Structure 1
Amino acid sequence: MNLTVNNLNSTFSLKAINEKPLIVNVVVGILLYVNGLMIFTFLKKETFRDARYILFAQTLFADTAFMVLTDLTLMGMFYQYPVHIIPCCMICTIMYFLTVCTPMTLVAMCLERYVAICLPLRHVSLSTPKNTFIGLLIIWGVSFILPLFILIVSFAYLSPGARFSYVVCSVEIMLQVTWLADMRAATQQLFFIIMLCIIVSTYIKIMIAARSASSENKKSSNKGLKTVLLHGIQLLLCMAHLIMPYIEMPLWNVDVMIFINVRYSNFILFLILPRGLSPFIYGLRDKKFNNALRYYVFCGICLVSNQRKIIDGKTVRGV
């Protein structure tokens, strides 16, 4: 009887473990579909070449690439599929670059809203496509400094024989050196704390401007305030993955199934979910973008009345 019960428990445990990658793939598939619609809408309309829409598109591209690479890495770890160590390190470097790039873009979007609300007379001159492109280059450059450094140091510490080996790809492959892992964690925490402080100060300044704004501008200021607040919550979710190992590893000695459940929950909540919030925070809440999105989703059906407004690019007040 005890043997039968143990066999049943093992069967249910294996079934629960095997269902988790399927759940992750379903969640990632839904988010990729939404991001794909958003990207298609952005590329189709010339009216979405303002600074805020370009930054929004940047988050869509970065989050889409991050979710694809993360899901592929997760599947490789689950099925223990070995890959060459050099492509593995390249993939992990790109993933780490995208991990930093998205929060920095969120900070840039908050600063753009601050300029639009608190410095409206300078918004047109500052939020030009040229300045936006320069800002993106700065974001990409700063985001790539630490991943590139980790990649170089990791290759320097690899033995000649290990450079031709095959491994199950994970970010831990590049963090075999203790001081390198500690430096990565400390630097990442410092980055996110600085970005959080910028978002909080931006929120406070927009809140002060919203209270003193006229009735005509108060609605726009309140929308901008909510947008910055939502981006702050999104950034906190991104920061939460920094403490995930400290929560997960003690559970390994308690119960393996609890460890697996917590790890997959943290993976969805703090790695996948924050990357899927941008379309809902910025895209669907913007009336102009929302109208264009619905037009393409329904192929113009039931939106005939809005068609002329979308095609002509009529200005609609957004977030």
Structure 2
Amino acid sequence: MANNSSFTDGSTSRRRIDERVILVQVLVVVFLSINIMLIVTFFMKDVFYTTMRYILFAHALMSDCVTLFTTNLLLIFSFAGKPVHLWSCVTMFILTTVCNFLTPLTLTAMTLERYVAICMPLRHAELCSTRSTLQVFLIIYSLGLIPCFMNLLIFFVSVSSDFNKHMGMCQGEMFVVHEWQGHLRSAVNQFYFLVMFVIIAFSYIHITKVAKAASGENRTSSRKGLRTVLLHGFQLLLCLIQLFCPMVEAAILQTNIMLYKNFRYFNYIMFIVAPRCLSPLIYGVRDEKFFLALKYSILCGLLKNKL
């Protein structure tokens, strides 16, 4: 309790918390603005919303926007010590949990699209059509919703009906009511991690082989695809590490509230904000076609403002 009291009453701690919250608000506003600008650019040309990789890119941006917004709210509530009604917490829990899975699943799909484009170019148009994209989204959302609703189902079956009136701190740990439920969540996260890691490694190895065997323009294209997969792999790794953070946070919460808040803040910056800043880099800047459309959009906006 001493740690909690000093955290609440100490002016130095309060100043440091305020500075942290302000820093997060600046980062969130910057990345949300960039993502929204990229989403607007996505809808500017038909080629973008009729091509699988750009559709997946836009979906990743939208998922990142929802994640940044909801997790930022939860972070503010956590540092402010503001209790939240159960159903409001459930809504934010669903959005946050589902998007935490949607982003790595979308990145995995984008990696597979690059694998098909480079290793199976003759079948790319067939396998990566608009219709195939809809099927990919069905798979992504099915896989993303399963862990969330599995946790919620166990939670509502286990708690009493008057728990609906509960007000408290909105944290993912509050929905884990059994020890075995925590183990189940951990097992599901590890399974997702393993499957996505295998897909990334498989794609990387095969694209590497094609890049070595290619020549001329094909080699340049293959190497660019290889770098894209590497960036996806790094981004995916950060996202997947975030899936394990709630388990570590739950253990720390039982011992030291101050350490828990510091660790949660670090996790937020490293494994939620940082991976979301890589999406604009991978396709928003590195992709020549999208970058030209983005530059045109920005320049037209500046010219209109001047006029």
TM-score of the aligned structures, taking structure 1 as reference length: 0.86
Once the two structures are TM-superposed, the CA of residue 119 in structure 1 deviates from its matched residue by 0.6
What amino acid is aligned across from residue 291 of structure 1 in structure 2? L
User: 1:112 touches 1:127 (CA, 8 Å); kept in 2?
Assistant: yes
Query: Which residue matches 2:3?
Result: none
How far apart in 2 are the matches of 1:197 and 1:235? Answer: 12
User: 1:295 touches 1:301 (CA, 8 Å); kept in 2?
Assistant: no
How far apart in 2 are the matches of 1:91 and 1:247? Answer: 21
Aligned residues: 295
Once the two structures are TM-superposed, the CA of residue 258 in structure 1 deviates from its matched residue by 5.7
User: 1:13 touches 1:257 (CA, 8 Å); kept in 2?
Assistant: no
Once the two structures are TM-superposed, the CA of residue 47 in structure 1 deviates from its matched residue by 1.7
Cα distance change on mapping 1:145 and 1:164 into 2, 3 Å:
same
Residue by residue over 1:256-313, the C-alpha shift from the partner in whole angstroms, topping out at 9 and shown as x without a partner, is: 76654443122101122112211111221000000111111121669xxxxxxxxxxx
What amino acid is aligned across from residue 130 of structure 2 in structure 1? P
Query: Which residue matches 2:59?
Result: 58
Cα distance change on mapping 1:301 and 1:29 into 2, 3 Å:
closer
How far apart in 2 are the matches of 1:254 and 1:78? Answer: 18
Deviates more, 1:46-55 or 1:13-22: 13-22
Cα distance change on mapping 1:255 and 1:72 into 2, 3 Å:
closer
Q: Does 1:33 find its partner at 2:33?
A: yes
SS in 1 for 2:81: coil
How far apart in 2 are the matches of 1:274 and 1:87? Answer: 26
Once the two structures are TM-superposed, the CA of residue 252 in structure 1 deviates from its matched residue by 7.3
Q: Does 1:138 find its partner at 2:147?
A: no
- For structure 1, the residue ranges without an aligned partner over 5 or more in a row are 1-5, 303-319
Cα distance change on mapping 1:155 and 1:230 into 2, 3 Å:
same
How far apart in 1 are the matches of 2:257 and 2:89? Answer: 27
SS in 1 for 2:168: strand
What amino acid is aligned across from residue 36 of structure 1 in structure 2? I
What amino acid is aligned across from residue 179 of structure 2 in structure 1? T
SS in 2 for 1:44: coil
How far apart in 1 are the matches of 2:251 and 2:178? Answer: 22
Residue by residue over 1:201-256, the C-alpha shift from the partner in whole angstroms, topping out at 9 and shown as x without a partner, is: 10000000011112121111000000001111111111222454676678779987
How far apart in 1 are the matches of 2:131 and 2:281? Answer: 27
What amino acid is aligned across from residue 92 of structure 1 in structure 2? F
Query: Which residue matches 1:159?
Result: 160
Cα distance change on mapping 1:144 and 1:258 into 2, 3 Å:
closer
How far apart in 1 are the matches of 2:270 and 2:109? Answer: 23
How far apart in 2 are the matches of 1:300 and 1:61? Answer: 22
How far apart in 2 are the matches of 1:117 and 1:295? Answer: 29
What amino acid is aligned across from residue 153 of structure 2 in structure 1? I
Cα distance change on mapping 1:290 and 1:255 into 2, 3 Å:
same
What amino acid is aligned across from residue 99 of structure 1 in structure 2? N
Query: Which residue matches 1:16?
Result: 16
Query: Which residue matches 1:317?
Result: none
SS in 2 for 1:81: coil
Residue by residue over 1:151-208, the C-alpha shift from the partner in whole angstroms, topping out at 9 and shown as x without a partner, is: 1111111211111222221211211222112211221121012101110110000000
Q: CA RMSD in A?
A: 2.3
- For structure 2, the residue ranges without an aligned partner over 5 or more in a row are 1-5
CA radius of gyration, larger in: 1
Deviates more, 1:85-94 or 1:101-110: 85-94
Once the two structures are TM-superposed, the CA of residue 28 in structure 1 deviates from its matched residue by 0.9
How far apart in 1 are the matches of 2:247 and 2:182? Answer: 14
How far apart in 2 are the matches of 1:250 and 1:149? Answer: 22
How far apart in 1 are the matches of 2:156 and 2:248? Answer: 30
User: 1:100 touches 1:143 (CA, 8 Å); kept in 2?
Assistant: yes
Query: Which residue matches 2:123?
Result: 122
User: 1:85 touches 1:164 (CA, 8 Å); kept in 2?
Assistant: yes
TM-score of the aligned structures, taking structure 2 as reference length: 0.89
Query: Which residue matches 1:106?
Result: 107
How far apart in 2 are the matches of 1:159 and 1:210? Answer: 59
What amino acid is aligned across from residue 52 of structure 2 in structure 1? A
Cα distance change on mapping 1:24 and 1:300 into 2, 3 Å:
closer
What percent identity do the matched residue pairs reach? Answer: 40
SS in 2 for 1:298: helix
How far apart in 2 are the matches of 1:170 and 1:133? Answer: 33
User: 1:248 touches 1:263 (CA, 8 Å); kept in 2?
Assistant: yes
Query: Which residue matches 1:186?
Result: 187
What amino acid is aligned across from residue 156 of structure 2 in structure 1? F
Cα distance change on mapping 1:77 and 1:251 into 2, 3 Å:
closer
User: 2:57 touches 2:283 (CA, 8 Å); kept in 1?
Assistant: yes
Deviates more, 1:177-186 or 1:57-66: 177-186
- The 5 Å alignment of 1:187-206 reads 187-206=188-207
